Structure 1
């Protein structure tokens, strides 16, 4: 099985999170955006899946070649999900199970 580190063109990309005033979330080491809407984002990172919840969320900056994503809006919570998501599984259903 290929590790997360190898998925970004064999580069070792450091995963970091920066939050500015609960309004902007900057994440490095992002491999893919699995799903998103104005209330929930699911990011695949080099350290696993990162779930972000909030209100009026939108992408401020996106550069998947460099593994960078910035999300703007009112941030409520975030956390890592250790289970992998099966292909075709919707994030809404996944989040509804996770945040009951």
Structure 2
């Protein structure tokens, strides 16, 4: 495993600012849910008034602000979207 592969950090400040590294894709987002994929699997962020402030496709850094209530990690090996059939058999 090289240095960039499997790199992911999450820093939550005062439940209002979240800084992530290792983000590979953002599936969907609105003011209550942000669903994304990191180098170590899927991540769902829930809260109120959520806003993506910064996102760097090159470095995989992402900054979120809002009233963050939960961070839920999904399958560790799931690093990209599933097809419709893949979601049915999940």
* TM-score bin (small chain): 0.7 to 0.9
Higher relative contact order (CA 8 A, sep 6+): 2
Q: Which has the higher strand share?
A: 2
* Structure 2 residues without counterparts, runs of 5 or longer: 86-90
2:33 matched to 1:40?
Answer: yes
Instruction: Give the drift of 1:57.
Output: 0.2
Instruction: Give the drift of 1:88.
Output: 5.4
For 2:6 and 2:58, the matched residues in 1 are separated by 11
Show the counterpart of 2:15: 22
For 1:86 and 1:58, the matched residues in 2 are separated by 25
Decide whether the 8 Å contact of 1:54 with 1:77 is kept in 2: yes
Q: Which runs of 4+ in 1 moved over 6 A?
A: none
Inter-CA distance 44–27: structure 2 relative to 1 (3 Å threshold):
same
How many residues are treated as equivalent by the alignment? 82
| Aligned Cα root-mean-square deviation (Å) | 2.4
Cα shift readout 1:49-68 (whole Å, capped 9, x = no counterpart) = 00100000011111021000
* Structure 1 residues without counterparts, runs of 5 or longer: 90-100
Cα shift readout 1:27-71 (whole Å, capped 9, x = no counterpart) = 000001011100000110011000100000011111021000001
